[in-house]
């Protein structure tokens, strides 16, 4: 029985949209994109807390084939990213393929029919020859199980569920968390509330943000001469690449560069915060890069304000009117803002249940063995499956470098399928093992293993202590591999029978 769709894509963020665009280019145009939210844009739809903006310059944080000349700033505000996503969806005809408000429960490979059966909450099933999951890395909000949180009588708001009409004016608020989200939100909140307490467990490296409005004349130039924006993208992308490759991946050979970044952040802190004790508390004790560093010109300075307090004592429990710390003190609040981030490793790899050949459960297999995926995209025993948010898939600093490398991988893989008249593909165990050994070896020289990350509490590390998120390659080499990986790493089948297995 033929499947209903050529492909089922899960997730209508930038990853899923890139996959859709590539499926169209490859002639696999009968696909559906399933999205649990009520609109497209992924993280840029879900997140709209005050202060949200990109932290990778917008010339780079966008599809290379769809430049937007009209970014208002070097680092565009979140709303512009959402607008850009809508523009891309309309221009590339993606919206008509999208189904919103659809929660996918799981997917199972039907070995006889050689297609994927995708089950939606509510019981409906959808079949597709190929399954592509683009469910994001940071898409499962995390609320720590603070004892007593359910008894809190005031307003609780997680940054991923911001209510735009919620007014912070005059509130006695607490922000829990000091990650990239808090660094953007705290200055905005401080400007409105009557009192703000920021609960910090682990300090974060913060470097200055070189952000300026893009004048209308430059926007016009980018619109009229796309090569000018391309050149700006190339310069910015090369800088990011140097930071990533030298500062993070080749930490063992470029320690001084990494130290220089730490010194810059410390100097920034010194200039911005008057109180020595507060400066001490805001200084991280792990190497720069262990955790994603942040950019802000206004975060540190907030702690000079008399109405803002940094609390570093650990949280014991929450009561109806406040937060009680381990030393027994209570901070009275009426508003609790949870900037506590996302659950990556427990519920997001994979985000839905995925059952491959012989009943292999991807989540269980990853946990019983190691988190792994060939080239960060395919997994043995999971035919016709592209896992776009896999372990070791994130390459470079801008997510778009990962998305476009994966689009290229799709191009080579499906191009070969067409050449052979094949209907199924599956990566071999041997190729997957080779890739895992390679990334494991390369990571040895990264800041994650050669540096000191012991106190970072970084989500780059999984519960086994493995830094299994980032791919330890330059983006140039990731892209080269995407267009040149050995085709023999895959087995292909005609659709009439199971593909022959590699040794
Ligand atoms: P995050 O980096 O995971 O930060 C979560 C914060 O909550 C951390 O400070 C964490 O402390 C704290 N926390 C968690 N559980 C806690 C507990 N039980 N008690 C006390 N504190 C607790 O999440 P995020 O700030 O949302 O950022 C996640 C990622 O999203 C960023 O790294 C970045 O990649 C992306 N992001 C990007 C942008 C942008 O570019 N525009 C903006 C925001 C976010 P510990 O560190 O001690 O665990």
Q: How far apart are CA 262 and CA 311, in angstroms?
A: 23
Assign 255 a pLDDT band (cuts: 50, 70, 90): very high
Question: Quick check: is 249 in a domain?
Answer: no
Taking residues 167-175, what's their average pLDDT? 98
- Asked if pLDDT for residue 252 goes beyond 60, the answer is yes
Closest residue (by CA) to atom 28 of ligand 1?
341
Closest residue (by CA) to atom 27 of ligand 1?
180
**CB-side neighbour CA atoms (13 Å) of 459:** 19
The answer to whether the CB of 120 falls within 8 A of the CB of 34 is yes
Atom of ligand 1 nearest to the CA of 340: 7
Q: Would you state the structure tokens that stand for residue 98, as one six-digit string?
A: 């999208």
The answer to whether the CB of 58 falls within 8 A of the CB of 68 is yes
Q: Which residues contact 156 (CB under 8 A, 6 or more apart)?
A: 149, 336, 338
Can you tell me whether residue 324 is helix, strand or coil?
A: strand
Q: Is 198 in the pocket of ligand 1 (CB under 6 A)?
A: no
Q: Which residues contact 283 (CB under 8 A, 6 or more apart)?
A: 203, 266, 269
Question: Quick check: is 123 in a domain?
Answer: yes
Counting every residue, how long is the chain?
A: 503
Question: Quick check: is 382 in a domain?
Answer: yes
Ligand 1 mean position, distance from CA 457 (Å):
10
Can you tell me whether residue 367 is helix, strand or coil?
A: helix
Summarised one tens digit per residue, pLDDT across range 405-455 is: 999 999 999 999 999 999 999 999 999 999 999 999 999 999 999 999 999
Q: Name which of 335, 282, 286, 339 is nearest 138 in CA terms.
A: 339
- Asked if pLDDT for residue 503 goes beyond 90, the answer is no
pLDDT of amino acid 495: 67
Number of domains the chain contains: 1
Summarised one tens digit per residue, pLDDT across range 459-500 is: 999 999 999 999 999 999 999 999 999 999 999 998 655 444
H/E run at residue 20: helix 14-25
Question: Quick check: is 221 in a domain?
Answer: no
Q: Is 60 in the pocket of ligand 1 (CB under 6 A)?
A: no
Taking residues 215-225, what's their average pLDDT? 97
- Asked if pLDDT for residue 275 goes beyond 50, the answer is yes
pTM (2 d.p.): 0.96
Can you tell me whether residue 327 is helix, strand or coil?
A: coil
Angle between helices 226-242 and 475-484 (to 10 degrees): 110
Q: Is 54 in the pocket of ligand 1 (CB under 6 A)?
A: yes
Closest residue (by CA) to atom 25 of ligand 1?
179
Taking residues 342-371, what's their average pLDDT? 96
Q: Within 10 Å of residue 329's Cβ, how many Cβ atoms?
A: 12
Q: Is 337 in the pocket of ligand 1 (CB under 6 A)?
A: no
Summarised one tens digit per residue, pLDDT across range 110-140 is: 999 999 999 999 999 999 999 999 999 999 9
Question: Quick check: is 272 in a domain?
Answer: no
Ligand 1 mean position, distance from CA 201 (Å):
11
Question: Quick check: is 302 in a domain?
Answer: no
Q: Is 95 in the pocket of ligand 1 (CB under 6 A)?
A: no
Q: How far apart are CA 60 and CA 38, in angstroms?
A: 27
Closest residue (by CA) to atom 41 of ligand 1?
54
pLDDT of amino acid 499: 47
Q: How far apart are CA 376 and CA 396, in angstroms?
A: 13
pLDDT of amino acid 118: 98
Ligand 1 mean position, distance from CA 178 (Å):
6
Q: Name which of 420, 370, 409, 408 is nearest 391 in CA terms.
A: 370
pLDDT of amino acid 496: 55
Closest residue (by CA) to atom 20 of ligand 1?
201
Summarised one tens digit per residue, pLDDT across range 75-95 is: 999 999 999 999 999 999 999
Q: Would you state the structure tokens that stand for residue 114, as one six-digit string?
A: 């050689």
User: 264: cis peptide before it, omega within 30°?
Assistant: no
Summarised one tens digit per residue, pLDDT across range 50-79 is: 999 999 999 999 999 999 999 999 999 999
- Asked if pLDDT for residue 502 goes beyond 60, the answer is no
Summarised one tens digit per residue, pLDDT across range 282-341 is: 999 999 999 998 999 999 999 999 999 999 999 999 999 999 999 999 999 999 999 999
CA dihedral angle for residue 210, residue 215, residue 218, residue 224, rounded to 10 degrees:
140
375-389: b (≥16 Cβ within 10 Å) or e: bbbbbbbbbbbbbbb
Ligand 1 mean position, distance from CA 188 (Å):
17
What CATH code is carried by the domain that includes residue 11?
A: 3.50.50.60
CA distances from 310 to 95, 284, 379 (A): 45, 14, 45
Q: How far apart are CA 162 and CA 50, in angstroms?
A: 9
**CB-side neighbour CA atoms (13 Å) of 187:** 13
The runs of H, that is alpha helices, within 55-198 are: 78-91, 180-190
Mapping DSSP onto H, E and C, the string for 435-485 reads: HHHHHHHHHCCCHHHHCCCCCCCCCCCCCCCCCCCECCCCHHHHHHHHHHC
Q: Which residues contact 400 (CB under 8 A, 6 or more apart)?
A: 14, 60, 61, 62, 63, 64
Q: Is 323 in the pocket of ligand 1 (CB under 6 A)?
A: no
Across the chain, mean pLDDT equals 96
Q: Would you state the structure tokens that stand for residue 355, as one six-digit string?
A: 């059952």
Phi then psi for residue 131, to 5 deg, are -125, 130
Ligand 1 mean position, distance from CA 458 (Å):
9
Among 340, 396, 400, 454, the mutation site with the greatest number of ligand 1 atoms within 8 A of its Cβ is 340
Domain that holds residue 482: 5-40+94-140+344-428+476-493
Least confident residue range of 31-45, 113-127, 237-251, 459-473: 237-251
Can you tell me whether residue 281 is helix, strand or coil?
A: helix
Q: Is 472 in the pocket of ligand 1 (CB under 6 A)?
A: no
Question: Quick check: is 469 in a domain?
Answer: no
H/E run at residue 280: helix 276-281
Question: Quick check: is 17 in a domain?
Answer: yes
Q: Which residues contact 116 (CB under 8 A, 6 or more apart)?
A: 3, 8, 107, 108, 109, 110, 127, 128, 129, 130, 131, 384, 385
């Amino acid at each position: 029985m033929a499947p209903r769709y050529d492909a089922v894509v899960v997730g209508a963020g930038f990853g899923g949209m890139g996959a859709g665009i590539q499926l169209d280019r490859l002639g696999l145009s009968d696909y559906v994109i399933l999205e649990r939210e009520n609109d497209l844009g992924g993280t840029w739809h879900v997140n709209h807390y005050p202060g949200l903006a990109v932290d990778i310059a917008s010339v780079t944080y966008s599809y290379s084939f769809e430049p937007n000349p009209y970014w208002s700033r070097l680092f565009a505000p979140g709303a512009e990213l959402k607008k850009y996503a809508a523009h891309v969806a309309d221009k590339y005809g993606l919206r008509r393929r999208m189904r919103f408000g659809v929660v996918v429960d799981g997917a199972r490979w039907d070995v006889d029919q050689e297609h994927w059966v995708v089950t939606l909450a509510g019981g409906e099933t959808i079949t597709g020859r190929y399954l592509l999951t683009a469910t994001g890395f940071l898409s499962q909000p995390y609320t720590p199980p603070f004892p007593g949180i359910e008894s809190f009588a005031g307003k609780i708001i997680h940054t991923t569920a911001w209510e735009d009409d919620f007014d912070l004016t005059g509130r006695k608020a607490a922000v829990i968390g000091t990650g990239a989200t808090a660094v953007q939100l705290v200055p905005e909140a401080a400007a409105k509330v009557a009192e703000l307490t920021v609960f910090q467990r682990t300090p974060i490296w913060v470097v200055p943000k070189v952000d300026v409005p893009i004048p209308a004349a430059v926007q016009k130039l980018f619109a009229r001469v796309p090569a000018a924006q391309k050149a700006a993208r190339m310069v910015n992308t090369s800088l990011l690449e140097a930071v990533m490759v030298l500062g993070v991946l080749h930490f063992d050979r470029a320690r001084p560069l990494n130290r220089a970044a730490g010194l810059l952040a410390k100097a920034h802190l010194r200039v911005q915060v008057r109180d020595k004790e507060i400066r001490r508390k805001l200084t991280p004790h792990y190497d720069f890069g262990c955790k994603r560093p942040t950019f802000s010109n206004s975060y540190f300075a907030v702690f000079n304000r008399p109405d803002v307090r940094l609390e570093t004592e650990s949280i014991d429990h929450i009561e109806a009117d406040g937060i009680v710390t381990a030393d027994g003190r209570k901070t009275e609040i009426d508003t609790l803002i949870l900037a506590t981030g996302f659950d990556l490793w427990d519920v997001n790899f994979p985000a839905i249940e995925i059952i491959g050949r012989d009943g292999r459960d991807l989540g269980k297999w990853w946990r019983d063995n190691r988190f792994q995926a060939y080239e960060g995209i395919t997994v043995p025993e999971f035919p016709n499956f592209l896992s776009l948010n896999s372990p070791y898939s994130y390459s470079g600093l801008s997510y778009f470098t990962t998305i476009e490398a994966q689009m290229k991988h799709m191009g080579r893989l499906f191009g070969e399928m067409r050449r052979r008249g094949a209907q199924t593909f599956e990566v071999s165990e041997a190729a997957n093992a080779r890739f895992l050994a390679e990334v494991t070896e390369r990571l040895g020289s990264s800041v994650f293993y050669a540096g000191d990350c012991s106190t970072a509490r970084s989500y780059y590390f999984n519960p086994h202590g493995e830094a299994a998120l980032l791919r330890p390659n330059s983006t140039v080499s990731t892209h080269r591999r995407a267009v040149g990986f050995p085709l023999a790493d895959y087995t292909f089948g005609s659709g009439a029978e199971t593909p022959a297995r590699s040794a």
